[in-house]
Structure 1
Amino acid sequence: MVSFCERLRGERTRLGLNQTDFAALAGVTKKTQMLYEAGDRVPDAHYMAAIAQAGADLYFIITGQKILVPNVDAAAPTWAPIDGEKLGRIIEMLEAAAKQAGRRWPSKKLAEVAAEIYNALGHEQQFDQPRVERILKLVINR
């Protein structure tokens, strides 16, 4: 997982600013900015508010997750980033359930079924293992 300081640095570069300019708009020195990006200091609320005004994505910096805004163009596809950890857990559980049922799937089929389960779970924040296990039983036995 990408750390807070790496996400902060990433947002600065996404905005096309060097450390000096980013620090200035946030009301801190370049040295302080360097300490934030190195993970040696933690910025305060005033700093965070200032960088938000400059266009930094605070939700992403703090949580590591992007907020997706619904697309007003209905013809354009919408997407969400894949949670690799969640998908990995689903694949591991799917492989274990298939093995227990005496089934073995080719990689393509495994990926398709894992994606189907992932999509069925939607954007749930918590990984509900009992629910995933129930879904797996249904999928394995179909």
Structure 2
Amino acid sequence: MADLLGDVPTLSSNGPAYVDPDGYKIVSIRLRQAEFACFSQQARSLGLTHNLALRIAARRISGFLEIDAETRRLLRQVSSNIGEIALNISRLRRLAEQADSIDIERLEEQRKGFGREFAVLDDRLQTLLNISQRRIDGRMMLQDAADS
């Protein structure tokens, strides 16, 4: 993991050290009683701890990837569909080799299905993996809050 992130120098009493990418920093916030009550109620209603709710907010502002349950379900379904199509194409190939002919209509149907599923996957992945856009979105959330 450190190789992917590069070495990040920091200062320490023993000379140069490196940031542990799996390490944590503690951030504390002050909320008014009414703010805390509303925040706590929202977090509880979603089954989240205070820590997790704040961590999700901070990660989204920073542009880190958070995947909701519906997106996770969609990606699993698309992955399953692509796997099934790949198996069908393999079966068609084996049948074509055995019969020394090919069912062009079935092959075309599978090819189109693969294209549709791959387009859905590509669209969702592009949205999820666009780090720059996520960071801009997070910054805009902060800017909107600062302007209010």
Superposition TM-score tier, normalisation by shorter sequence: under 0.3
- Richer in helix (by share): 2
TM-score scaled by length of structure 2? 0.27
TM-score scaled by length of structure 1? 0.27
The structure with more radius of gyration: 2
* Higher RCO (CA 8 Å, separation ≥ 6 residues): 2
